Structure 1
Amino acid sequence: MASRPSGNRRALGDIGNIVGALSATYLVTKPQHQQQQNHTNNLIEIDRPTTRRKFGAELTAKNQLHGKATKIIIEDDPKQSRTASSRKKRNRIPEIHEPKSIQMGEEEEEQEKENTRKKKLERWECGSSFNASMSTETAELPLDSEVDLQINSCVPTNYMSNQTDINHKMRAILVDWLIEVHYKFELMHETLFLAINIIDRYLSRQGVMRKYLQLVGVTGMLLACKYEEICVPLLEDFIYISDGAYTRVDVLKMEKSMLNTLQFNMSVPTPFVFMKRFLKAAESDTKLEMVSFYLMELCMVEYQMLKFPPSLLSAAAVYAGRCMLRRSPTWTKTLRHHSTYSEDQLQECVRLIVELHQNAGQGKLTSVYRKYSFSKNSCIAILMKTTTIETHFHSN
């Protein structure tokens, strides 16, 4: 390893801070007229100067020999203004009292244990009655009266009407590009769903110029990565994929604007949350999981699909996936119970999903179709392309 140039710096020995040097005594050379007295040794040892503390200690030791308790006062240190006897009293170890159980007799000890047991029993009965009453009240509540947490993640279905410089086609181009970015970075599913949700919620509240729309998309993906991912891509990576259209300062400013606009609310239920739950209720395999996510991502690109709540969109994707794979029955009682949707309630959304599936791979926005055409995703887009589900769907 190459050493750094020292420049004009002096060695440690030149400035007298060698470790251990002259730590106890100082060595000096005897004057010329004293060298004649001792020719064998030209060095003498000089002790450190006597300090007030050292002097006080020596004086105390002398007085103790004569049986006196002398009060030593050091004006600069008022803490030392106490006699040796007072220091001994202050440093005395306090008495350690034995535990109460040792001091009590056997009968008192048993009574104390019984009282403690009764108090614990009363607290337990109180907690049990409270939990029981809460469980009863919850069980009596119908599913429709539960608080719908999806409100925080939904956006107005016509929010693009408030934008003056962008439209739903530009949003579709942005989402299609972000799906490709997400695949190239090998990020998790939940990151993509959260990123799209962050972007839609921000655009529904804040007007954005056309030249900054890609910056909103890049920053939304960065925020989702920070929230979901363990290994977050570098900010420079997002600047690179945007072809250097924005600087680091631009991204940080947009990140601040988006967080303040959304009031730092990143914990929202996205379609991914419901999808995992419904797939578990459907006892899905890898093939059904791939098909359902493929159909769901096709929906994410389309602005018109924002009118459906995330739970309904996920349920419709699972329903359509089971139709494509000829699973019978298409909608089980378990799925109806966990999704709270009947087949009739899913009809409109499923029809739109079928149309998106039939048109997949056509036109300019083909990122989802190409993504699920790779072997990594079991080539599910190619396999399902030849599957006609419209007739099977209508027969149900």
Structure 2
Amino acid sequence: MENMRSENHRGAAMEGVKLASEAAANTNRRALRDIKNILGAPHQPQAVSKRGLQEKPAAAGAKSQPGAVGHRPVTRKFAAILQQTQPANAPLAPIGSERQKRNADTAFNAPSDMECSKASDDDLDEMVSRITQLMTNELKEIDMEDTEEEEMPDIDSCDVGNSLAVVEYVDEIYSFYRRTEELSCVSPTYMAHQSDINEKMRGILIDWLIEVHYKLELLGETLFLTVNIIDRYLARENVARKKLQLVGVTAMLLACKYEEVSVPVVEDLILICDRAYSREDILDMERMIVDRLEFNMSVPTPYCFMRRFLKAAGSDKKLELLSFFLIELSLVDYKMLKFQPSMLAAAAIFTAQCTLNGCMSWNKCCELHTKYSEEQLMDCSTMMVELHQGAPRGKLTGVHRKYSTFKYGCAAKSEPAAFLLDARKA
């Protein structure tokens, strides 16, 4: 009889579970799973371990039983298990009683749900702590970067009251220069297409024009625009050797019309050329140049960037003169055409700083405004050091003589920064 009762109880329990599963399937609802609220129930890993639920009811409005473990209601599954484990003639213990707790502890030899939950909580706490630490470190780095940017000096603060400095638009102006500076560049191999002139003749012409520029006391912008017009014209037009000087003086006349307040008259240029050309020759060449360049004369030159970058470097007169000495040496050398105007300006200032300080001193402010790092400038800078070393020697010494005068602070007599050459080899 006892066996029959036990089987009846077991069959009733299994039938109840089956009916519950079928009802859930018919209503398209997922079957309820064990929420592990009874001590001794098999532990299943949880995606998120919820603390503090041991003392809260399982659902809103559910009443906890006074004898339940953790003051929670007993699930239907656990009640069926208790029916299977109890004797047939034994009365069912009230839900949540101490006897039920003892039977549960006897029926399952597994670690308690609280212990497993505690282990899962520890793992989760460790993971959350690690993620929190990583996020904190990242936020600190961002804050440090923001602090560094905030601490950058405002190089335009001293010109707020100067309407000619256009402080309100200066950043946009130099952004435009950076976008359009490629228009002022020429191929560093254009001389290969010239049949009657070569790069040495170009160097002689530029060196001579620097002396002419110095004697006429023209603006710095005029010299750089003159050289740019010459290179852009020679890159597009094949010029005979006897016309090369004519191209040079005409390019200077055009640059003066764009940059100077008082433009030299054509007769002065004829005298400078020792009457090798007539007035008609200069005016005809002027028409040819502007036509070949499509009247595009206003382009960014290294001089445009020099003023801005010197301001960012907080330069004094000594650094300024040495920087211009180095960049004018670069105007004469044909190999320097491979560098963009902004890089030539930044490298000249960087090399001048190294020459005066005896070490590399390219700070964050200079890097921010020039957009070049020390590594990016090293190739151009070392070539400038080599030009500085060879400036007193050879036939093209016009720049060296100019910057050896007291008017230019004897900048050419500074000791070249030879340690940059060793740094590049290393």
Same fold flag (TM > 0.5): yes
Q: Does 1:240 align with 2:268?
A: no
Structure 2 Cα separation of the partners of residues 260 and 220 of structure 1 = 13
Q: CA deviation at 1:152?
A: 1.1
Residues 145 and 297 of structure 1: is their aligned pair in 2 closer, same or farther, counting only changes over 3 Å? closer
The letter for the 2-side match of 1:389 is A
Q: In 2, distance between residues paired with 1:144 and 1:275?
A: 14
Cα shift at 1:381: 1.0
Q: Which residue of 2 aligns with 1:175?
A: 206
> 1:379: Cα distance to partner?
1.4
Q: Aligned partners of 1:194 and 1:242: how far apart in 2?
A: 20
**Aligned match of 2:343:** 312
Equivalent residue, structure 1, for 2:419: 391
- 1:252-274 CA-to-partner distances (Å, cap 9, x unmatched) read 00000000001111110000001
- Check the 8 A contact 2:178/2:342 in 1, yes or no: no
Alignment partners' CA distance in 1, 2:247 and 2:216: 18
* Alignment correspondent of 2:411: 380
Match of 1:293 in 2: 324
Note closer, same or farther for the CA distance 1:144–1:233 as it changes in structure 2 (3 Å cut). Answer: closer
Q: Which digits, 9 at most, give the CA deviation of each residue in 1:14-40, with x for residues without a partner? A: xxxxxxxxxxxxxxxxxxxxxxxxxxx
Partners of 1:215 and 1:254 within 8 A in 2: yes
Q: Is the 8 A contact 2:210 2:399 kept in 1?
A: yes
The one-letter code sitting in structure 2 at the alignment partner of 1:390 is A
Q: Does 1:347 align with 2:378?
A: yes
* Cα distance, 1:388 vs structure 2: 4.2
**Distance in 2, Cα, partners of 1:328 & 1:147:** 28
- Extract unaligned runs of 5+ from structure 2: 1-170
Counterpart of 1:229 in structure 2: which amino acid? E
Aligned twin of 1:29: none
Deviation per residue, 1:348-380 (Å, 9 max, x gap): 101100000000121111000000011111111
The whole-number CA distance in structure 2 between the counterparts of 1:187 and 1:194 is: 12
**In the aligned structure 2, how far is the partner of 1:170 from the partner of 1:344?**
33
* Alignment partner, residue 146 of structure 2: none
* Aligned residues of 1:294 and 1:381 also touching (Cα < 8 A): yes
Structure 1 residues 358 and 327 mapped into 2: Cα distance closer, same or farther (>3 Å)? closer
Check the 8 A contact 2:257/2:263 in 1, yes or no. Answer: yes
Shift of 1:347: 1.0
Identity %: 55
**1:227 partnered with 2:255:** no
- Shift in Å at residue 166 of structure 1? 0.4
Deviation at 1:390, TM superposition (A): 1.3
1:392 shift after superposition:
5.8
Residue 328 to residue 364, structure 1, CA distance change in 2 (3 Å)? closer
| Aligned with residue 332 of structure 1, among 356, 363, 367 | 363
Partners of 1:151 and 1:170 in 2: CA distance:
25
Could you tell me how far 1:395 is from its partner in structure 2?
5.5
Question: Which ranges of structure 1 fall in alignment gaps of 5 or more residues?
Answer: 1-138
State whether residues 197 and 241 of structure 2, in contact with CA within 8 Å, keep that contact through their aligned partners in structure 1: yes
Cα distance 1:333–1:327, how it changes in 2: closer, same or farther (>3 A)? farther
Contact 1:323 1:393 in 2 (8 A): no
Conserved 8 A contact 1:150-1:269? yes
Q: 1:243 to 1:301 in 2, by over 3 A?
A: same
Q: Normalising by structure 1, report the TM-score.
A: 0.61
CA contact (8 A) 2:208 2:398 kept: yes
2:391 aligned partner = 360
Change (3 A) 1:270 1:145: closer
- Preserved CA contact (<8 Å) 2:354 2:360: no
Alpha-carbon distance, 1:240 to partner: 0.4
The within-5 A match list for 1:5-44 is none
Partner of 1:216: 247
SS in 2 for 1:181: helix
What does 1:8-157 align with in structure 2 at a 5 Å threshold?
148-157=179-188
Letter in 1 for 2:343: L
Letter in 2 for 1:272: Y
Q: 1:144 to 1:347 in 2, by over 3 A?
A: farther
1:186 aligned residue: 217
Q: Which has the larger radius of gyration?
A: 2
**1:284 is matched by which residue type in structure 2?**
S
1:361 partner amino acid:
P
Label 1:147 to 1:334 Cα distance change in 2 as closer, same or farther (>3 A).
closer
* Aligned residues of 1:219 and 1:251 also touching (Cα < 8 A): yes
Map Cα deviations across residues 169-193 of structure 1 (whole Å, 9 max, x no partner). 0000000000000000000110000
Residue 272 (structure 1) aligned with residue 303 (structure 2)? yes
Question: Contact 1:195 / 1:220 at 8 angstroms: preserved in 2?
Answer: yes
Task: Find the aligned partners of 2:177 and 2:334 in 1 and give their Cα distance.
Answer: 28
Q: After TM superposition, give the deviation of residue 389 of structure 1 in Å.
A: 1.3
| TM superposition shift of 1:146 | 10
SS at match of 1:373: coil
Q: 3-state DSSP class of the match of 1:202?
A: helix
Are 2:193 and 1:162 equivalent residues in the alignment?
yes
Partner of 2:283 in structure 1? 252
1:145–1:289 Cα change, 3 Å: closer
- Which of 401, 405, 413 is the aligned partner of 1:370? 401
